[in-house]
Structure 1
Amino acid sequence: MAIKLLRYFLYCFFGSIFSVASMVFIFFSFSFLNSKSASLF
């Protein structure tokens, strides 16, 4: 039971880290594209 709870906690922990990392990656890619298009026009 405790092992299942620990596994659930690890899944939530890594899931939150992955979601935050993907949001940061999307934000940086959007800002990079915006700076590229701003320099083009």
Structure 2
Amino acid sequence: MITKKVYDFLTRCIVVTINVVRRLLNRIEIKREGGMV
């Protein structure tokens, strides 16, 4: 039971981290496009 909770926690952390990275990459791309224009 404990291992399942740990597994769920890790997977949740990974998903959140991926979402944060995507947001940061999107912001960087928008800044680059805005700077070029």
TM, length-normalised to structure 2? 0.93
Give yes or no for the alignment of 1:14 onto 2:6: no
Name the count of aligned residue pairs. Answer: 37
Q: Which structure 1 residue ranges, 4+ long, deviate > 3 Å from structure 2?
A: none
What are the ranges of 5 or more consecutive residues in structure 2 without an aligned counterpart?
A: none
> Equivalent residues in 2 for 1:1-41 (5 A)?
5-41=1-37
Which is greater in Rg?
A: 1
Give the deviation of 1:31 after TM superposition. Answer: 0.3
TM, length-normalised to structure 1? 0.85
Report the identity percentage: 11
Note the aligned Cα RMSD (angstroms).
Answer: 0.5
